[in-house]
Amino acid sequence: MADTPVRMVDCVVLKKSAPGLERPVYPGELGVRIWRQVSKEGWQRWVAHQTMLINEYRLVPIEPKARKFLEGEMEKFIFGAGATKPEGFVAPPGG
């Protein structure tokens, strides 16, 4: 069985060409946009940032208000000027 060629994207998070996501990771038009413009590494950076937001703000991701907040932060992180960390946030040692 032949290896599938790696799909490269011009990643808007990393600001360079990198291996793209294998499939859309988010629904709808935003998901397609992410699939086209975000690399695997760029997406993992968002996932780590999202985890920090969920923990710091004690969000319940299934709640509509939390989902809306996270989607807005995701758009800022990926396509905007970058998302901010919560006030008073201190990264854990080594992280």
Give the residue from 45, 56, 54, 66 showing the smallest Cα distance to 91.
56
Q: For domain 8-79, give the fold.
A: YggX-like (1.10.3880)
**Tokens describing residue 43:** 């997406």
Does 92 have pLDDT greater than 70?
A: no
How far CA 56 is from CA of 37, 42, 51, 52, 90, in Å, comes to 28, 21, 9, 6, 10
List pLDDT tens digits, range 47-73. 999 999 999 999 999 999 999 999 999
Stated pTM of the model:
0.82
Sequence spans of domains, the chain: 8-79
Question: DSSP label at 73?
Answer: H
